[in-house]
Amino acid sequence: MRTVRFGARGLLGLAFGALVATLPCGAAPATSGTVEDTGVEMRWGYQPASGASGGLGRLTLDLRDRASGTPLRYAAGQIAAWLQRQRPSLSEGELSCKDRVKSLVSTGIGRRADVDLNTYRILTLNADQTLAVINPFVTLNNAKLESIVPLPGMPLAWAHMPAQGLLWVLLDGAPARVVGIDTHLRSVVRTHELVGAAEPNASLAVDEHGQRLWVALPAAGRVALLDLPSRAATWRFAAAPGLLAVHRVDTPQGTAVLSTHADGRLVRWRSTAATDHPEREREWALPHAARGLAYSALGQRLVAHDGQAVLVVDLGGSEVRRLTLGHPVGDLALADEGRYAIAAGGDRMSMVDLASGKVQARSATVPDARQVMLTSRFAYAIGADESAATLWALADLRAGRVQPAQVMLGTARSRDGDTQRLRRAVVAPGGAGLLVAHRADQLVYQYSEGMMAPIGSYSNYRRTPLAVGLLDLAPREVAPGRYEVPVRYDVGGVHHLVVSGAGPRFVACDRVTLAPTLDQVRRDTAPAVHARLVGDSVLPGARRRIVVALSEQTARGAAQPLAQVPDLTLLLFDKRSGWQQRARLREQADAAGRYVAEVGVPPGARYELFVGSASRDLPYVQGRLMAGDAWGARP
């Protein structure tokens, strides 16, 4: 026998607990299962987010070869997953797993999943203090802008925590502040202010596993730390003289948080519950300040540059190697799991074998190369004015062949006030190309791999982009054969979990029960609202006076007048001509629950009457009253 315990926090809390109790036993706190197809074994588990009131969780997929138990590794884009709400229909129950996959991957109205776990959105941080969310899957060019989120300050840095569904943005100001944006609701849900003066050079890093925010405050010479699980948590500080920036680097042992300093020091930080401030875990003395930190999984070393050379640092020891290249370094990127470092700066590029320290290939680049990007098969060096880039095939560079090609990116822009804290180029999902946000053109250009001209562009709606990013909602590999994907949903209940993989091919289907969301509980437990037409009378000047009575059903089943609904709206619609008119209904002072509106109606109109209210969750289709015409006749 299953027992459900919940705290009494009012009628809504009781209703939420009661609704959860009516679900199958696997509904909370987690569900799991095992499915096998064509020799592939999939073990899956769904875990609701801690502290979330429904609607947010994490789906985990473990894929192994059934015979040998070997983890199966799939490249990005080779695994697709959906959640389809179970509906009481005969045809739904007769669908095979393969038919479900075919239906979901095909296009057409009614074939989309309730929760598509394979999509992404393009994000731009803009100079008008907004975050724009662009949907690249909308076919109409002028309808791709999905959301605009106003920001209470100028953005300095940002970082995504996909498992929590939060995008953190560091904002300039006095004091600076960090805001958390719910990527599902598209609104600011958390704000944390930092004490002190403005910090125009501040930087941000997130430790998703530890659920912590780290902020570098160079003007104050301090590192700030915030524990995210507690909304009442306060910032903890540690002195950091000569601080430049804070960086997050993911290693096999976990997330490493490091700070760079003007005197060349590189500091690794840690935080424990026993201390009230961040602690230095280890320090390295470098000849010059490090930049562009990355981790080489193959060499198990931290790789960075100091503007003139590539640095290789042993995070577990004290070894530091400095590889001079004979040209400035503005940026670097790691290829082949960290075997090679591709560094560009000035007008030169060098590809370095980190194991031997030898330069594998050299090439000329666009002038003043400031950013290096790697797709699946190509490397790009982007110039500071963002008008052009140089690309090379990685296969050619590995073989020591240098065959550069020029890529046009857009109109050249001024370099005044430029920084590298916010980047305007990002690798497209699956490494299939680049997305470049151009400040001068106010566009986001899309490039396929190896193409020297864009294949398309997305409007930024006359906003100047400061940075571009991807809200990637697809499954990502977190360990060999283990994949995770954040889940956001609006309606709980029993869902079909549908997963498909390519190479080796398999399809797997199962049922998962998702806990109801608070909004769902509000809708299901809210009293039923009823609208009734009281009068539709003729006024001089081709006008009508319409009176509507609004009531709601009490817990005992009785109807009582529903007063104080300020957004109750009347809709008149003539389905023959398409004429329609909306008017706000005002509550009568002498009759509770009665609302009146006076509207002009063209002669000969045969209209239907509807009422709707967003605050009472009353759509027009449920608020249909009756039909009439402008002459008072009733059909």
Q: By percentage, how much of the chain surpasses pLDDT 70?
A: 88
- Report, at the CATH architecture level, how domain 10-117+478-522 is classified: Sandwich (2.60)
Residues 9-35: what's their mean pLDDT? 49
Residues 436-454: what's their mean pLDDT? 90
Amino acid occupying residue 416: D
Dihedral sign, CA of 79, 85, 90, 93? positive
Amino acid occupying residue 546: I
pLDDT at 450 over 90: no
Residues 529-539 pLDDT 10s = 889 999 999 99
Q: What is the pLDDT of residue 54?
A: 65
Q: Grade residue 630 by pLDDT with cuts at 50, 70 and 90.
A: very low
Amino acid occupying residue 165: G
> What's the angle, vertex CA 574, arms to CA 570 and CA 576, rounded to 5?
165
pLDDT at 568 over 90: yes
Amino acid occupying residue 372: V
Q: What is the pLDDT of residue 17?
A: 43
Torsion angle, CA of 306/367/461/117, rounded to 10 degrees?
Answer: -50
Helix (H, G, I), strand (E, B) or coil at 310: strand
Contact indicator for 147, 133 with CB cutoff of 8 Å: yes
CA atoms within a 13 Å half-sphere pointing along the CA-CB vector of 254:
11
Residues 543-564 pLDDT 10s = 999 999 999 876 677 788 999 9
Dihedral sign, CA of 87, 88, 89, 93? positive
> CA–CA separation, 587 vs 596, rounded Å?
6
Instruction: Identify the burial level of 589 via C-beta atoms within 10 angstroms of its C-beta, where 0-12 means exposed, 13-18 middle and 19 or more buried.
Output: exposed
pLDDT at 2 over 70: no
Residues 269-305 pLDDT 10s = 998 766 778 999 999 999 999 999 999 999 999 999 9
Domain 527-629: state its class: mainly beta
Q: Grade residue 418 by pLDDT with cuts at 50, 70 and 90.
A: very low
Q: What is the pLDDT of residue 346?
A: 92
Helix (H, G, I), strand (E, B) or coil at 8: coil
Q: Name the pTM for this structure.
A: 0.73
Distances (CA, A) of 597 to 529, 549, 583, 600, 606: 19, 12, 7, 10, 18
What sections of 488-527 are H helices per DSSP?
518-525
Block residue for tokens 């003289």: 241
> CA–CA separation, 58 vs 313, rounded Å?
34
Among 467, 417, 413, 463, residue whose Cα is nearest residue 437: 467
> CA–CA separation, 214 vs 156, rounded Å?
14
| H or E element, residue 193 | strand 187-193
Helix, strand, coil percentages for the chain (3-state, nearest 5): 10, 50, 40
Dihedral sign, CA of 328, 332, 336, 339? positive
Q: Grade residue 8 by pLDDT with cuts at 50, 70 and 90.
A: very low
Residues 558-585: what's their mean pLDDT? 91
Residues 351-370: what's their mean pLDDT? 94
Contact indicator for 356, 340 with CB cutoff of 8 Å: no
Residues 295-322: what's their mean pLDDT? 93
Residues 120-131 pLDDT 10s = 999 999 999 999
pLDDT at 134 over 90: yes
CB neighbour list of residue 301: distance below 8 Å, 6 or more residues apart: 295, 312, 313, 314, 315, 338, 354
| Main-chain dihedrals φ then ψ at residue 261, nearest 5 degrees | -135, 155
> CA–CA separation, 595 vs 606, rounded Å?
22
> CA–CA separation, 627 vs 290, rounded Å?
74
Compute the mean pLDDT over every residue in the chain, rounded to the nearest whole number: 86
**What DSSP line would sit under 552-610, residue for residue?**
EE-TTS-EEE----TT-EEEEE-TTT--EEEEEPEEPTTSTTEEEEEEE--TT-EEEEE
> CA–CA separation, 177 vs 159, rounded Å?
14
Among 87, 82, 88, residue whose Cα is nearest residue 59: 82
Dihedral sign, CA of 626, 629, 631, 633? negative
CB neighbour list of residue 296: distance below 8 Å, 6 or more residues apart: 302, 303, 312, 334, 337, 338, 339, 341, 354
Contact indicator for 188, 180 with CB cutoff of 8 Å: yes
| Main-chain dihedrals φ then ψ at residue 557, nearest 5 degrees | 95, -5
Same fold, 10-117+478-522 and 527-629: yes
Strands 177-182 vs 493-501: parallel, antiparallel or unpaired: unpaired
Helix (H, G, I), strand (E, B) or coil at 264: coil
Helix (H, G, I), strand (E, B) or coil at 518: helix
Q: What is the pLDDT of residue 279?
A: 92
Contact indicator for 583, 570 with CB cutoff of 8 Å: yes
CA atoms within a 13 Å half-sphere pointing along the CA-CB vector of 197:
6
> CA–CA separation, 342 vs 335, rounded Å?
7
User: What is the domain partition of the chain in residue ranges?
Assistant: 10-117+478-522, 527-629
Contact indicator for 302, 310 with CB cutoff of 8 Å: no
